[in-house]
Structure 1
Amino acid sequence: MDYLPIFLDLKNKNILIVGAGNIAFNKIKLLVRAHAIINIIAKDICSEIKYLLNQKKAFWLDQEFKTSYLRNVYLVIAATNDTKLNKKIFKKCSEFKILVNVVDDKSKCSFIFPSIVDRSPIVVAISSGGTAPVLLRLLREKIEGILPIRLGNVAKIAEKWRETVKKYFFNLLERRRFWENLFNSIFVQYAINGKKEKAVSHLKKMIKNPNKLIGEIILVGAGPGNSDLLTLRALQVMQEADVVLYDNLVSQDVLNLIRRDAKCIYVGKRAGLKSITQEKIIKLLIFLAKQGKRVVRLKGGDSFIFGRGGEELEAAKNENINIQVVPGITAGIGVSAYSGIPLTHRYYSQGVIFITGCKRVDNIANNWSILSDDSYTLVVYMASLKASEISKQLILHGRLKSTPIAIVSQGTTLNQNVIIGRLDEIHKIFKFSISPSLLIIGKVVLLHKKLEWFKSAINFNNIKNNSSIINI
């Protein structure tokens, strides 16, 4: 993040504008709406600014800039064509620790003006840091179309009733739940349509008849890593969570989408490393839900595909806790798609089987006879620890040594790496892979060259023949 987005209270604060052309006027219009005290230094003044001066909405100080004018100034905007003067203003403001914006010179700005969607008191500000103004304009147009013109009415009514609501709901969690329920009710439509009395009447009813604070556990699949693959419902639930328990495979991009004031607890497990037990995770989920909290259990991929989601929900139901499930794109589906490897194809594979490299708790072995049928694509999760055994058993039960395989590391992310090789090379190939990785076995791997679209794959033969290709 190159700039920290903040909102400044400029009411009755002295702002200095150097320059009085059309560019300066565009900035001054915003400052007038923010009720700032606007002081102008300029020789030539455009007609629009002259009008503001006549209306006493701005004040002219001088024709020439002097350092003395920086006294008691909150921020400065330099909007002149004189590069030397702009440089001087920036230097002096930096010395005096005054916020300064030199228009159209990003290198001489301690703050920048964002693109604004105004639904006062609700204000949305977006910025590209000066890198893509056209894109920014398009984004603003989309947001303008989504947010109702009179959305501010909702916030204004809520502001007047905040103290009253506090008296009814002492508990912070109960209070937040009340507002969430209110803003998801007909109250919003009443306020937007200007029916203030009906809106207030509905608010009063909800205060007198509040919903009982009931905790719940929501199982959410976070997808294979790329935050673009998160479902809309998953995003909504993450924004409503009181607490989020997340796994090791949930990407930082996805974590960044969680409601900022939600408590996030890491409960990830990795093979070979000391970590929290599944029993403790379940106890923590139940403990938090019984406190009346909306608990999101966030897992990589899909919670019901090798994610122990079933175990956690079973425990919740045994404690009579409400549950929800939000499916996610499992790694096998997402990673294969981003690798250009269709898991089924009528000329190569009549079906797909998902298995895990980890054994069942009762140590029952895989049915290798079925898994070795080359008319099926085999997708193996967590395959690295048992790679040699998997290869040995498949070949022993009929798969050809030359069966194509793909090992995809950090799939769907910008760090995705795909290594293509043969089944009998599997142990060697895994030495070059990065965790987390997914193993795909079958003839469909042959299609990757033709269908690859996200990132190019690496052939294991090239790695063997070129020892420099190590950091893939």
Structure 2
Amino acid sequence: MSTAQPHGSDQTDILPLALDLTDRSCLVVGAGPVALRKIELLVAAGARVSVVAPAMHPDTAAFCAERAVRVERRRVQDSDCDGHLLVVAATGIAEVNESVSRACQARNTLVNCVDSPGLSNALFPALVDRGSVTVAVSTGGASPTLARRLRERIEATLPAGVGTLADYLSGKRSQIRAALGSVAERQRFWDRVLDGRLPDLLARGDAAAADALLSEELARTGPPVGMVSLVGAGPGDADLLTLKALHCLQRADVVLYDNLVGADILNRCRRDARKIHVGKRRAFPGTRQQVINEMLVKEARSGHRVVRLKGGDPFIFGRGGEETEALTEAEIPFEVVPGITAALGCAAYAGIPLTHRDLAHSVRFVTGHRTGGEFNLDWPELAAPSQTLAIYMGLEALPALCTQLIAHGAPPETPAAVVARATLPEQKMHLATIGELADPTREIPVSAPAITIVGEVVGHARSSGTQ
């Protein structure tokens, strides 16, 4: 908080403070919609609020009557500023706000003149309210809109249950203080607990499991056991990460990521997290799956919070099932965080509805990867009409795939879209028929990774890069 002077003073020296307004006297000058928002904030904080204004907005009058707020319907006087911890001027009239500011400054009283930081020595920040946890964002009055947008970003990343977590920790402080003698011991303990499963258990409302975990942590003398989160990174656009995925990335000690995870997504990881590339590609074996499984177990047994970050969704052609089997066998705690699978993101950004009342009543996700040189697919079912096929990892094998579809009854004129770099700015789409794609001599002007969508719904595709 700064002792700002009226008329254009420098607002860079702002000290954020949290005020306890319980049963403290505060005055609001003005009674319009803006004043009402300030009155509501002050009443919610436990203040004794008085309002002075010659006229009242109906909503303000109703709120003040309901909450027993003292109201005086008259023009404000300098003496009205006596005896208050905080005065808010929200009249919308510059001359009145300036007069209130001068009166408060002369009395060393905190004053906030709405939308006039130069008249204020106290500013209302943009607030993120999570119960016992409050986050305030202020630009020193330079740009309330920017403060609001920053608040929205924080709000999106802050878990909804963080207030419950704070209440829980507060209730356990005496127990932990009695069990652990030194400040350093307690700090290490809380860091370990908060990096573990406790926040997730409380977020699910399982306080009994949280209590049991806390007791185990207090009794434990051996090395800590971490956990693994199998996280879907979505189809490419970092803004399509789920909030749960983002929370996992921000808490991870170690991140094992594959080829389909871009730099924009990796930049969302905790800054000091170790990032290990374990990607695999056709004709380039990369890191074998067995080695990845062993790495997950090893890192978790070292007490680390591990994220296995996969493009799309972990359980759709992501080999997530093999990794959960390995973790279960090793008795490593794990969770699976679903992501937007590539076909969904690809179709949405290309304007292709995967289902349509008149055209497609079902969707099939198919891999174009061959096992032992064979596709092992049910071709008659895949060639059936009134459905949509989404083919993953099939660009190289596309002529053979389309040839089989035609051989089993699919019309050669069935439309198809090959979409590469889906959801990213450089997304490209090639439109053709499966008859054209079955020609091995025909060049497809996109490169892997790509998704191929087959079906009449492709007719809805909008223009997107290469055609």
1:23 paired with 2:41, answer no
Rate the CA distance shift 1:294–1:143 in 2: closer, same or farther, 3 A.
closer
Spell out, residue by residue over 1:302-343, the C-alpha distance to the aligned partner (whole angstroms, 9 max, x if none). 111110111111111122222211111111122112211111
Could you say what secondary structure the match of 2:432 adopts? strand
Q: How do residues 137-152 of structure 1 correspond to structure 2 at under 5 angstroms?
A: 137-140=148-151
Contact 2:430 2:444 in 1 (8 A): no
CA gap of 1:184–1:418, structure 2 versus 1, over 3 A, is closer
Q: Which residue of 1 aligns with 2:458?
A: 445
Deviation, structure 1 residue 163 = 9.9
- Superposed CA deviations along residues 384-432 of structure 1, whole A, max 9, x for unmatched, are 1111111222222222222111111111222222221111232577631
Cα distance in 2 for partners of 1:311, 1:206 equals 29
1:288 is aligned, of 291, 294, 299, to: 299
Q: Note closer, same or farther for the CA distance 1:442–1:208 as it changes in structure 2 (3 Å cut).
A: closer
Q: Does 1:177 align with 2:174?
A: no
| Corresponding position: 1:299 with 2:310 | yes
Structure 1's 440 and 251: CA in aligned 2 closer, same or farther, altered over 3 A? same
1:266 to partner: Cα distance: 1.2
Match of 1:341 among 352, 368, 384: 352
For residues 102-117 of structure 1, the aligned pairs below 5 Å read none
Separation in structure 1 between the aligned mates of residue 230 and residue 190 of structure 2, nearest angstrom = 24
| CA distance in structure 2 between the partners assigned to 1:384 and 1:440 by the alignment | 11
Aligned to 2:464: 457
Q: 2:145 aligns with which of 120, 124, 134?
A: 134
Does the Cα contact within 8 Å between 2:227 and 2:304 map onto a contact in 1? yes
Report how far residue 370 of structure 1 moved. 1.9
Distance in 2 (alpha carbons) for counterparts of 1:22 and 1:143 = 33
Does structure 2 retain, via aligned residues, the 8 Å contact 1:25–1:48? no
> Unpaired runs of 5+ in structure 2?
18-99, 109-124, 203-213
Of 426, 441, 455, the residue aligned with 1:415 is 426
RMSD of aligned alpha carbons: 5.0
5 Å-filtered alignment, 1:208-247, equals 208=218, 213-247=224-258
The alpha carbon displacement at 1:249 in A equals: 0.8
Shift of 1:53: 12
d(CA) in 1 for partners of 2:228, 2:351:
36
Give, in angstroms, the shift of residue 440 of structure 1.
0.4
Query: Aligned pair in 2 of structure 1 residues 126, 276: CA closer, same or farther (>3 Å)?
Result: farther
State the partner residue of 1:309: 320
CA distance 1:314–1:251, shift in 2 (3 Å): same
Aligned amino acid, residue 438 of structure 1: I
AA aligned to 2:184 is K
Seen in structure 2, the aligned counterparts of structure 1 residues 308 and 274 have a Cα distance that, compared at 3 Å, is closer
Q: Return closer, same or farther for 1:338/1:364 CA change in 2, 3 Å cut-off.
A: closer
**What is the TM-score of this pair, normalised by structure 1?**
0.60
2:245 is aligned with 1:260: no
* 1:232 positional shift: 2.3
Which residue of structure 1 lines up, in the alignment, with residue 415 of structure 2? 404
TM-score, L = length of structure 2:
0.61
Aligned to 2:383, which of 372, 379, 384?
372
On the 8 A contact 2:356/2:457 being kept in 1, the answer is: yes
Residues 348 and 443 in structure 1, CA contact (< 8 A), matched pair in contact too: yes
Q: What secondary structure sits across from 2:182 in the alignment?
A: helix
Give the partner amino acid of 1:261: D
* Aligned equivalents of 2:364, 2:155: Cα separation in 1: 43
For 1:435, the equivalent position in structure 2 comes to 448
* 1:458 Cα deviation from its structure 2 partner: 5.1
Structure 2: how far apart are the matches of 1:185 and 1:328?
A: 21
Taking only the aligned residue pairs, the percentage that are identical comes to 37
Summarize the Cα distance change of 1:312–1:207 in structure 2 as closer, same or farther, 3 Å threshold. closer
Q: How many residues end up aligned between the 2 structures?
A: 357
Give me the whole-angstrom Cα distance separating, in 2, the residues matched to 1:444 and 1:259.
41
Query: How far apart, CA to CA, are the structure 2 residues paired with 1:360 and 1:348?
Result: 32
Deviation at 1:117, TM superposition (A): 6.8
Cα 1:32–1:253 change in 2 (3 A) is closer
Q: For 2:284 and 2:215, locate their aligned partners in 1 and report how far apart those are by CA, in whole Å.
A: 53
Q: Is the 8 A contact 2:226 2:333 kept in 1?
A: yes
Residue 168 of structure 1 deviates from its aligned partner by 5.8
For 2:135 and 2:181, locate their aligned partners in 1 and report how far apart those are by CA, in whole Å.
22
Gap runs ≥5 in structure 1: 1-18, 34-46, 56-114, 187-203, 461-472
Contact map agreement 2:368 2:375 (CA 8 A) in 1: no
Going from structure 1 to structure 2, the CA distance change for 1:118 and 1:364 (only over 3 Å counts) comes to closer
Query: Aligned partner of 1:306: which letter?
Result: F
Q: State how far apart, in whole Å, the 1-side matches of 2:5 and 2:368 are.
A: 70
Query: Alpha carbons of 1:288 and 1:140: their partners in 2 closer, same or farther (altered >3 Å)?
Result: closer
**Residue 366 of structure 2: which of 355, 369, 390 is its match?**
355
SS at match of 1:384: coil
C-alpha deviation, 1:215, in angstroms: 2.3
SS at match of 1:236: helix
Flag the 1:364–1:323 CA change in 2: closer, same or farther, 3 A.
same
Distance in 1 separating the partners of 2:375 and 2:426: 35
The alpha-carbon distance between structure 1 residues 249 and 143, as it changes in their structure 2 partners (threshold 3 A), is closer
Aligned AA (2:193): F
Give 1:30-69 correspondences, 5 Å limit. Answer: 30=14
Cα distance in structure 2, aligned partners of 1:294 and 1:31 = 35
Report the Cα distance in structure 1 between the residues aligned to 2:444 and 2:379, rounded to whole angstroms.
24
Secondary structure class of the residue paired with 1:235: helix
